[in-house]
Amino acid sequence: MAAALGGLGLLQGRVRLAAAAAASSPLRRPGPRGLVRGGAACSPAGKGYSSEAKGEEELRVRYLEEENQGIVVLGLNRSRAKNALNKNLIKMMSKAVDALKSDKKVRTVIFRSEVPGIFCAGADLQERAKMHSSEVSSFVSKARATINEMANLPVPTIAAIDGTALGGGLELALACDIRVAASSAKMGLVETKLAIIPGAGGTQRLPRTIGVSLAKELIFSARIVDGEEAKSIGLISHVVEQNESGDAAYRRALALAQEFLPQGPLAIRVAKLAINQGMEVDLVTGLAIEEACYAQTIPTKDRIEGLLAFKEKRPPRYKGE
């Protein structure tokens, strides 16, 4: 498995070569330049939680077990500050993401809140008010880098939005591959109310998600939308009615993660890479990227196991090799 996943590192270089080859082709069409590098209730839904999380931690990291093995849940837990992003929480998130990206047993990561009614209120403005202007720039840079690292995790990521996600909180969710929200959740990039702009990817990821014109409208107006409207404009993939436990979005996110578990783990990682890189370039270059990525799946043991399982009419037993 280590050798197979190590090949994914080499794949980054091959993807760049594929893009360069496509760029030199006379059939290449104009496109973007280059490639990007790249709950509410504290009681868990379902079985299989490990007991590693401690109640006082502002970020709870849980590795699920049993039938959910391979799913990791990162739970924001700053109840006294509505999960606002401060220096310590950003540091903890960075450390957790750094560990996850090199953990070959991780299959999907879910970001959620363990504070009822809130996902993340954005930056900690009380802490921000005490910062010198130079400190503000440094903090925003660190937050942006951490959220970028989240976006670049090699496995699927899901944001479970069971409450309010404003400013940096929504930027965190935008960095995830999939967003699920309760219909009662509130979302918005509200920075212009404070005479600043989104600084952790919001001005870039929101237009890529819902379109340029609508993204401008929402950012210019600092408008807040609920789950239903968020679904209608494409900001989230799924909207669910909130339940009595306040964790409906998390439960839906967990169900999605369970759908990913039976699939080939290397294939999912390579598929994410192909999609992420391909969306930043023109179609011809993107197809070259897909070709380079597909080639990486051909020599794997998992591919042979998939064919054998199909022939024998049984579920495949993938090992990530």
Distances (CA, A) of 114 to 39, 46, 174, 227: 4, 15, 19, 19
Question: What pLDDT, on a 0 to 100 scale, did the predictor assign at position 51?
Answer: 38
Q: Are the C-beta atoms of residues 71 and 44 closer than 8 Å to each other?
A: no
Sign of CA dihedral 255, 175, 220, 85: positive
The arithmetic mean of pLDDT across residues 188-214, rounded, is 96
Phi then psi for residue 254, to 5 deg, are: -65, -40
Question: What pLDDT, on a 0 to 100 scale, did the predictor assign at position 136?
Answer: 87
The answer to whether residue 171 is catalytic is: yes
* Same domain as 213, residue 142: yes
Asked, for residue 24, whether it belongs to a domain, the answer is no
* Same domain as 190, residue 129: yes
Other CB atoms within a 10 A radius of the CB of residue 32 amount to: 11
The answer to whether residue 2 is catalytic is: no
Q: Are the C-beta atoms of residues 286 and 280 closer than 8 Å to each other?
A: no
CATH number at residue 79: 3.90.226.10
| Active-site choice (45, 121, 123, 151) | 123
Residue 23 pLDDT level (bands cut at 50, 70, 90): very low
Question: What pLDDT, on a 0 to 100 scale, did the predictor assign at position 10?
Answer: 52
* Same domain as 285, residue 249: no
Residue 283: give the domain boundaries.
265-312
* Same domain as 295, residue 194: no
* Same domain as 271, residue 237: no
Asked, for residue 210, whether it belongs to a domain, the answer is yes
Phi-psi region of 46 (alpha: psi -120 to 50; beta: other; left: phi over 0): left
* Same domain as 269, residue 156: no
Question: What pLDDT, on a 0 to 100 scale, did the predictor assign at position 233?
Answer: 97
The arithmetic mean of pLDDT across residues 166-185, rounded, is 97
Among the residue ranges 32-46, 214-228, 253-267, the one predicted with the least confidence is 32-46
* Same domain as 297, residue 150: no
Sign of CA dihedral 147, 271, 100, 4: negative
- Cβ neighbourhood burial of 209 (10 Å; 0-12, 13-18, 19+): middle
Share of the chain above pLDDT 90, in %: 71
Run of H or E including 2: helix 2-24
* Same domain as 227, residue 172: yes
The better pLDDT of the pair 128, 96 is held by 96
Asked, for residue 126, whether it belongs to a domain, the answer is yes
Q: Starting at the edge strand that comes first in sequence, how are the strands of the sheet with 157-161 ordered?
A: 59-63, 71-76, 108-113, 157-161, 178-182, 238-240
Question: What pLDDT, on a 0 to 100 scale, did the predictor assign at position 28?
Answer: 37
Question: What pLDDT, on a 0 to 100 scale, did the predictor assign at position 40?
Answer: 33
Work out how many domains the chain is built from and give that number.
Answer: 2
The arithmetic mean of pLDDT across residues 232-259, rounded, is 96
The better pLDDT of the pair 180, 32 is held by 180
Asked, for residue 236, whether it belongs to a domain, the answer is yes
* Same domain as 281, residue 193: no
Asked, for residue 237, whether it belongs to a domain, the answer is yes
Per-chain mean pLDDT for the chain? 85
* Same domain as 290, residue 187: no
Question: What pLDDT, on a 0 to 100 scale, did the predictor assign at position 25?
Answer: 45
| Active-site choice (191, 253, 278, 286) | 191
> In this predicted model, what pLDDT tens digit does every residue of 140-160 receive, in sequence order?
899 999 999 999 999 999 999
The arithmetic mean of pLDDT across residues 229-252, rounded, is 96
* Same domain as 237, residue 110: yes
Question: What pLDDT, on a 0 to 100 scale, did the predictor assign at position 130?
Answer: 83
Q: Is the whole-model pTM more than 0.75?
A: yes
Asked, for residue 90, whether it belongs to a domain, the answer is yes
pLDDT of residue 53 exceeding 80, the answer is no
Question: What pLDDT, on a 0 to 100 scale, did the predictor assign at position 48?
Answer: 46
Q: Helices 133-151 & 87-101, crossing angle to 10 degrees?
A: 30
Asked, for residue 294, whether it belongs to a domain, the answer is yes
The answer to whether residue 280 is catalytic is: no
| Active-site choice (163, 168, 201, 306) | 168
* Same domain as 149, residue 90: yes
> In this predicted model, what pLDDT tens digit does every residue of 72-127 receive, in sequence order?
999 999 988 999 999 899 999 999 999 999 899 999 999 999 999 999 998 888 88
Question: What pLDDT, on a 0 to 100 scale, did the predictor assign at position 52?
Answer: 47
The arithmetic mean of pLDDT across residues 225-245, rounded, is 97
CATH number at residue 272: 1.10.12.10
The answer to whether residue 168 is catalytic is: yes
Asked, for residue 213, whether it belongs to a domain, the answer is yes
